[in-house]
Amino acid sequence: MKLKIVLFTTLLLLTMMMSPVGITENTYLPEKSGTSIGADGSMPRSMKIPASEDVSVVNGSYSSISFAHETELLLGTGYFGEWVTARSWLKFDLSRIPRELSIRSASMHVYMYGETDPADEPIGVYYSDDDTWAETSITWNNQPVVSDTPTDVIDSPASPDMFVEDQWYEWDVTSDFQTALLGDGVLTEVLRQIGEGLDVEAFKYPMSMEGFRLNTTYLEIEYDTPEAQQLTVDGVALGTLLDYIQPEPILGWQFSDPNLGDFQRDYEVELWDTPDYNQSMLWSDSHEDIVTIHDSLGDQPTGNLHPFGLREEFRLQMKFQSSQLPRSGVIDKLYFTAYEKSGTLQVENLEISLSQPDTAANLTANFETNLAGEHPTVVLSQELWETTYTDGCVIIDLENTFMLNSWLPLIIEIRLMNNTGDLIHLNRTATGGPGSVATAWGEGSFFTGSADYIQTRTYDLKVGFLTESVFEFNPTGTWNAAPFDVDLDTRGRFQIKYNRSFIDRAGYIDRLYFRVAELDAEIVYENLTIILCESTVLGPLTTAAWVENYGEGTPQVMLTEDMYTVQNLGGVLVIDLPNSFYYQNTHDLLIEFQWDSHVSGSAIVGTVPSSTSSYRAWNCTVAGFDLQGSGNAGYELFVDFINDETSSIIDQTVPLTNTTTYYWRVRSCDSAGIWSDWSEHSFTYQPLTSTPEFSTVVVDPDPAEVGQLVTVSISATYFLGMHSVLLEFGGANHTMAQAG
C-alpha cells in the first residue's frame, strides 16, 4: 500500500521559476550500542606496574649499611640491641606508560609478609621527586629528601589489627603518579611509619622482589577508555530505512573520549554474518600489520591443553627466539590458533607479561631464572577476561606499552586462576624447538616459582603492530651519536631524509620512534625545534645547505620547546608531534632537529652506514670535536600515523546477499593507544530500486503577482513513506510541510 502525503510551502513570489527536487534522506538518531561503565560513559580498565627497585634503609648503627637484594623489606620501629627506624624505598619505571593516558586512580599495593611484633602504628606513603637513588647504594645516610606530609596513610583498624601478616595493603598515590608521569617518567615512593623515633615494637616486613617477584609491590592504574558511539549505516541509526541499505553501505560512528581534547588515532571495523560474531567475518577495515612468528602447519592438529584447556591455575612461559621475530614495533595484539574453531573464553585473573632477556637458552623449570634479570612488562591484567574466537583464532588485545625488539628473544608469560568458559587447545609444534616452554598447573601454580613441565615446544603465534616500520637496524650495523649523544652544553643541527618507498603510505604523522642503546639518563634539550618536510631533493643532502635540502617542499615546524624531554618507551625514544603534518608520500620525508643546548642524557641510534634508505646532514659537537658533514645512513625509524576517519565503505567486492541481515562492529583507539570496547549495529542489505512519485505542482494563486504570498503543494507517494521533500526556489532548498 502506498502512503500518500500532501505537502505545501508558502513563499514570497519573486520573478523566477520553481521546481521540486525530490527526497533527501538525512535522518539521524543517536545510538549507543556498546556496553559502558562509569558516570562519563567510558569503560575503565586497569594495568599493573611492578616496582623496578625496592630496598630498605635503617638508622642507628645500620645507617651506612646497604640492604640491597634482601628477600624482604624493613619498615617501622623495633628494638634490635638498640631502637631503630626503617623505611622502604620503592621505584617504578613509568617510561612505557603514555603520558596522554586518562588516569582515574593509581594505588600502590604492598604485600605485608611478616612482622616482628603484634603492635601496629599508622604507615604512610611519602613522595620523593629525587629518583637518582639506586638499590645497590642507598643507605639511611645518603637517602634523598622525601615530602613532609604523606600522600596517603593507613591508620585503621586499631592495633593489633591494622596490619596482619600475609595480607595485601594499598595506598592511594594518584597525585604522585600523575606528577611523575608528566615529569621524568620515574616514580619514587617511600613507606614510613608516621611516628618515627618511637620506642614501640611495630616492625614490619613487606615482600621484596628478591623474596618473591609475584608478591612484589606494584601500582594498579585505573584509566578511562574511549568509545565508538552513534553508529549509522548510510547515515541512518534507527528505523525502517535500515532494512533498505544501498549497494555500497557506508558504516559511520563518532569517537568519544572522557578527555575532551583527545582524538581518534585508529579504528577497526568488522562485518559478520551472525549477531554473536562467532562464525565467519566477511570483511574488515584495519591498519594493523600482522606478522607470523610461528606456524606449525597443522603437524599437531589436536593442540595443547596449556594454558586454556583445563579448569586449573596456570603459569606458563613460552619463549620465541630472535630468529623468529621478523620485525620490531609496539605490540598491539597476540594471535594464537586453536584446534576448536569457535567458542568463548572466560578467564579469571588473567595476567600476561612480556620480556626480552638477552639469552637464547631454552627455558628451565625456574621461572625467575628464565627472565635473566629482566623486569617483565604487564600488558594485560583483568579479574575476568572474556573473548569470543572464530576460525580457530584467539585474539588477545594488549595495552600498547611494549616495544618488541627483533634482536632479542621474546618471553610471553601467561598466568590465570581458572578458565570458566570453553576449553580450547592451542596449536603448536610439540617438540624440537625453535621455541621452548615452562609450565605449572594445578593449585598454587599462579604464584609458584617452579615449572612442572619444560619442553622445546613452539606455539603458533602471530603479532599485530600499529607502528609503521620505516627502517630497522640489525645487529650487524653500527651506532651513531647524532642527534641524541652529542656533547652536553653544545648546540647543533641535524637533518635526515627517508626515501618515500620505505614509508609507502600517506597520512598525518603522530609519533616518531628511534630505537637507541646505552641510554644513561633522560634526554633533555634546551630550545629544541623539530621540522618535517616532504623534500623534493633526490639523493644525498648537502652539508649545511639546510634550506636547499627542502627542495620545493614546505618545511613545517612541528615542535618548538624551551626545555624538552624526549620520552623513553623502554629503550625507544618517542617524539610526540601535533597531528598537523600530512605526509603525501609523493616525495621523501625530511626530519630536522635544531637545539641550542643538549642539557642531559645520551643515547646512540642504530644505523646502517651503507644503506641508501636515508641521507643525513649534521653540524654538531661529538667527543669534543665540532663536526660538519653529510652522507647516507639507514637510521632506525618507526612512525605512527593518524587514522581519524569515522566512516568506512563496504564496496561491491564484498558479496552481500539481497534481503540478508548483516552485523557489524567498530572500535576506536585514542591518542594514548587505548582501544575502546566493540560497539555493535546491524542492517539489512536490500537496495531500493523504485523512486518516489510526484503529482503535478499546484500553485495558489495562479497566476501570481510579484510580491504576493504563494502556496505551492504536491502529492508525493512512496511505499516506505516520505521523509522530506525539498522545493528549490531562488537557488535555495525549502523543506515542504506535511499537510495530510
Interval 38-87: pLDDT, tens:
334 456 888 899 999 999 999 999 999 999 989 999 999 999 989 999 99
**Interval 438-471: pLDDT, tens:** 999 999 999 999 999 999 999 999 999 989 999 9
Q: Which residues contact 518 (CB under 8 A, 6 or more apart)?
A: 479, 485, 602, 603, 604
Mean of per-residue pLDDT scores for the chain: 88
pLDDT over threshold 60, residue 28: no
- Torsion-angle region of residue 297: left (phi > 0), alpha (psi -120 to 50) or beta? left
Distance CA 458, CA 445 (A): 21
For residues 278 and 148, the model is more confident at 148
CA 274 to centroid of chain Cα atoms: 29
Q: Residue 295, class by beta-carbon neighbours within 10 Å (0-12 exposed, 13-18 middle, 19+ buried)?
A: middle
Q: How far apart are CA 565 and CA 149, in angstroms?
A: 29
CA distance 516 to 407: 13
Paired strand residues for 622: 625
Cell numbers at residue 313, please?
591455575
Model confidence band, residue 476 (pLDDT cutoffs 50, 70, 90): low
CATH number given to 227-285+645-685: 2.60.40.10
At 648 the pLDDT is 96
Q: H or E stretch including 179? A: helix 174-182
Farthest CA pair distance, the chain:
115
- pLDDT surpasses 90 at 212: no
Fold of 45-223: Jelly Rolls (2.60.120)
Highest mean pLDDT among 162-176, 595-609, 611-625: 162-176
Torsion of CA 173, 401, 51, 516, to 10 degrees: -120
The domain segmentation of the chain, as residue ranges, is: 3-23+692-738, 45-223, 227-285+645-685, 289-466, 469-642
- Name the class of domain 469-642: mainly beta
With DSSP H G I counted as helix, E B as strand and the rest as coil, what are the percentages for the chain, rounded to 5?
Answer: 5, 45, 50
Q: Is 326's pLDDT higher than 80?
A: yes
DSSP structure class, residue 228:
E
What secondary structure letter does DSSP report for 551?
T
Among 455, 454, 450, 412, which Cα is nearest to 214's? 450
Per-residue DSSP letter, 243: G
Name the residue with cell 618536510.
Answer: 533
pLDDT tens for residues 721-730?
Answer: 777 788 887 7
CATH topology match: 45-223 vs 469-642 = yes
Mean pLDDT of 238-265: 88
For residue 192, list its beta bridge partners.
Answer: 124
How far is CA 37 from each of CA 156, 172, 349, rounded to the nearest angstrom?
Answer: 31, 22, 20
